[in-house]
Amino acid sequence: MPTAAGELYVRDYAGNGPAFVMLHGFPDNLGIFDKIVPLVAESGRRVVVFDFLGFGDSDKPGAGYSFDQQAGDVLAVADALHLDRIIPVGHDAGGAVAVNFALSHPERTAEVALLNCFYGNSPSLRFPELILFFATPELSALSQHFLRSPARFEQIVEFQNAVFREILGTEEQIDYDEFLARLIEENFSRQGSGPAFAHMTAQLLSEVAREDQKMAELEALDVPFRLIWGAEDPYLSPAVAEEIAKHLRNATLTVLAGGGHWPQLDRPAEVTRALLSDAESSK
């Protein structure tokens, strides 16, 4: 699907009602929704997933990556598919994009779903070490050095994977190793998402500060939100969800026991039920 900066890789599953448009964070891609897409589509609802520019199988323009650009990618997909109203489903940094889209285009937003994400600063907000390493301006020379060395970068990713997986149950750990860890590794190796990852993480802290300035606008936004959270996330805990919900006029929070940072992978059936039950009014 064309944009001014390059082609987006998009998958569109036919169905009724406002489309669920699923938005990944970094360092992953649309594959993180592979377990819930068929479940939502089987219910008869329309689902759209895509890779942001720079990630997965979308084009890699090499520059211009930003949170505003990603919100523009969402609009480009909605326009190209003639979607009058959508339900952005944002995970991790994709959650910030979902909120930004709703603020800019409330008339195009039926609802917003947020999965283990962030928006603005809060007392409980804690970023993974891998992300914070690349987000800290004073460490940019060192982090870029690691990014240019596949072996060194792999060591950081392995450390981060170990932290995420250690809180999971045995079955979820096996699934993490066989699916998610491979997806992230391939995203950097075969799919070449390193530059986009570096650009996006470098803007993370300033983006969070910018989000703080939008809180009054968010509190006035008359769009339903549903927050669906893995309880065992070692970084973006349910307390982060509760703090985000304080700024929302109409929000529900579902906390899933046993789910980690990627609840859509750890508890796909439960996430799907939460999405569909709370979306009935949007049909």
Looking at residue 276, its pLDDT comes to 96
Q: How far is it, in rounded angstroms, from Cα 87 to Cα 172?
A: 28
Strand partners, 45: 16
pLDDT tens digits, one per residue of 181-204:
999 999 988 889 999 999 999 999
Residue type, 203: Q
Residue 136, Cβ density class (10 Å: 0-12 exposed, 13-18 middle, ≥19 buried)? middle
Question: Which tokens belong to 31?
Answer: 């594959």
Looking at residue 123, its pLDDT comes to 96
Contacts of 256 (CB under 8 A, 6+ apart): 228, 229, 230, 231, 263, 266, 267, 270, 271, 274
> What integer best gives the mean pLDDT of the chain?
95
6: left (phi over 0), alpha (psi -120 to 50) or beta: left
Looking at residue 282, its pLDDT comes to 40
Q: Does the pLDDT at position 283 exceed 90?
A: no
Place 65 in a pLDDT band, splitting at 50, 70 and 90: very high
Report the pLDDT averaged over residues 81-97: 98
Place 214 in a pLDDT band, splitting at 50, 70 and 90: very high
Q: How far is it, in rounded angstroms, from Cα 141 to Cα 281?
A: 50
Chain position carrying tokens 């149950």: 169
Looking at residue 170, its pLDDT comes to 92
Place 14 in a pLDDT band, splitting at 50, 70 and 90: very high
Say if CB 229 and CB 255 are below 8 A apart. Answer: yes
Report the pLDDT averaged over residues 64-75: 97
Place 280 in a pLDDT band, splitting at 50, 70 and 90: very low
Looking at residue 85, its pLDDT comes to 98
Q: How far is it, in rounded angstroms, from Cα 217 to Cα 103?
A: 7
Q: Does the pLDDT at position 81 exceed 70?
A: yes
pLDDT tens digits, one per residue of 228-266:
999 999 999 999 999 999 999 999 999 999 999 999 999
Question: Which tokens belong to 153?
Answer: 């970068």
Q: How far is it, in rounded angstroms, from Cα 92 to Cα 149?
A: 26
Looking at residue 148, its pLDDT comes to 87
Question: Which tokens belong to 97?
Answer: 């994009």
120: left (phi over 0), alpha (psi -120 to 50) or beta: left
Looking at residue 190, its pLDDT comes to 86
Report the pLDDT averaged over residues 102-123: 98
Q: What is the pTM of this model?
A: 0.95
Place 150 in a pLDDT band, splitting at 50, 70 and 90: confident
Place 147 in a pLDDT band, splitting at 50, 70 and 90: confident
